Amino acid sequence: MILVTGGAGYIGSHTVRALEAAGFTPVILDNFSTGHRSFVGGTPLFEADICSPSDMHSVFAKYPIEGVLHFAGKALVPESYENPELYYRTNVTGGLNLLSAMKAHGVRHLIFSSTCATYGVPESVPITEAHPQRPINPYGETKRAFERALHWFNESCGLQYLSLRYFNAAGADASGQIGEDHDPETHLIPLALDAAAGRRHDVKIFGTDYPTPDGTCLRDYIHVSDLARAHVTGLRALLDGRVKSQPINLGTGRGYSVREVVESVRRVTGREFTVRETSRREGDPPVLVAAVDRARELLEWTAVESDLDRIVASAWKWLMVRPRSN
Ligand code: UDP
């Protein structure tokens, strides 16, 4: 079985479905702090907290786990400034609890949800995996700290891992059963879609004075279904010993500005809504765009569902059907 920590969350739930479709048997571990019970479906569930060392030992004692996909964690930049302890405790200490339990139970394969936020402000774009990591917010710092732990567990006890550094995950599964649903929502695409749906007064553009073509930040938006598929491909390669332990970027290699995203939301939804230009948000680098050669060469993976309008259309479809949480 494959343990999926955070399997009731946004990217985790999409990956659980992709694992099942590929013939793996996942077991979800989630504490539902941000995950959704309705995302679990018929998959085995172990309700537990990665911050509890005994919970982590119990899940390995209960199930015959051969590999782990580790999504559980805190992932909001603004929240990481308000509560850095929570980020260190969950993303670093919680992760170490997992590694201790894996070591004790002889489980040696792990895929970690890492992030382009570990790079900080890039010196050059597109960003390769060899680019220096100098995170500029607590969230990125904690993700980088756990990446370093993986490196040393690999050196010292043979842990085999991939740190998948996601760029901007967005969109929703074609089934309409799962999608992005954060509370509070802080991400651009769902917020702009909320404005288009009349569920918010407006969408704000955080900063129009960045050194970019239209003054707003550029991001590399990647469809969550593309991310899910990359995890399955990465897991297979890791279990078969076809790939060495290392970080791999997951993105499209193309950046879109905040204004371009807002335009895409207008185009796809056909709705008008208010856009307010405000000051910069703390911790946002101007440009984050992935170099994607390593994923292509080692995993034979490229994004195929990540056309911006297609991402936005899938998120719009999900917004129309999802249970209302606000
Ligand atoms: N952004 C924005 N308005 C919002 C939310 C986000 O202008 O209401 C910008 C944000 O500054 C960043 C980009 O949109 O440049 C993507 O932000 P998001 O929070 O979606 O993802 P992140 O890049 O933080 O992972």
DSSP labels, 97-143: HHHHHHHHTT--EEEEEEEGGGSBS-SSSSBPTTS--B-SSHHHHHH
Position 268 pLDDT exceeds 80: yes
Mean pLDDT, range 71-98, rounded to an integer = 96
Give 47 Cα–ligand 1 centroid separation in angstroms.
31
Ligand 1 pocket mutation pick from 167, 189, 206 by most atoms within 8 angstroms of CB: 206
The domain containing residue 39 runs over which residues? 2-169+222-250
Residues 233 and 277 in one domain: no
- CATH code of the domain in which 282 resides: 3.90.25.10
Q: What percent of the chain has pLDDT over 90?
A: 95
Write out the DSSP string of 185-235.
---HHHHHHHHHTTSSSEEEEE-S-SSSTTSS-EE-EEEHHHHHHHHHHHH
Mean pLDDT, range 249-258, rounded to an integer = 98
CB of 222 sitting under 6 A from ligand 1:
no
Q: What are 215-245's pLDDT values in tens digits? A: 999 999 999 999 999 999 999 999 999 999 9
Residues 81 and 153 in one domain: yes
DSSP classification of residue 39? G
User: pLDDT at position 119, please?
Assistant: 97
Mean pLDDT, range 46-57, rounded to an integer = 98
User: pLDDT at position 283, please?
Assistant: 80
Residues 109 and 211 in one domain: no
What is d(CA 227, CA 249) in angstroms, rounded to the nearest whole number?
10
Average pLDDT of the residues of the chain:
96
User: pLDDT at position 282, please?
Assistant: 84
Beta bridge partners of 163: 112, 247
User: pLDDT at position 325, please?
Assistant: 56
Residues 165 and 291 in one domain: no
Residues 96 and 245 in one domain: yes
Which one is predicted more confidently, 176 or 301? 301
Q: What are 126-137's pLDDT values in tens digits? A: 999 999 999 999
* Domain presence at residue 175: no
Nearest to 229 by CA among 129, 322, 299: 299
Q: Which atom of ligand 1 lies closest to the CA of 205?
A: 7
Give 237 Cα–ligand 1 centroid separation in angstroms.
33
Contact (CB, 8 A) for 200 and 282: no
User: pLDDT at position 326, please?
Assistant: 40
Residues 196 and 207 in one domain: yes
Residues 241 and 211 in one domain: no
Write out the two tokens for 32: 């539902």
Mean pLDDT, range 298-320, rounded to an integer = 97
CB of 77 sitting under 6 A from ligand 1:
yes
User: pLDDT at position 183, please?
Assistant: 86
Which helix (H) or strand (E) segment holds residue 59: the answer is: helix 53-62
Residues 202 and 235 in one domain: no
**Structural domain total, the chain:** 2
Pairing label, strands 160-166, 109-115:
parallel
Ligand 1 pocket mutation pick from 119, 121, 219, 221 by most atoms within 8 angstroms of CB: 219
Q: What percent of the chain has pLDDT over 70?
A: 99
Position 322 pLDDT exceeds 50: yes
Residues 67 and 83 in one domain: yes
Residues 7 and 40 in one domain: yes
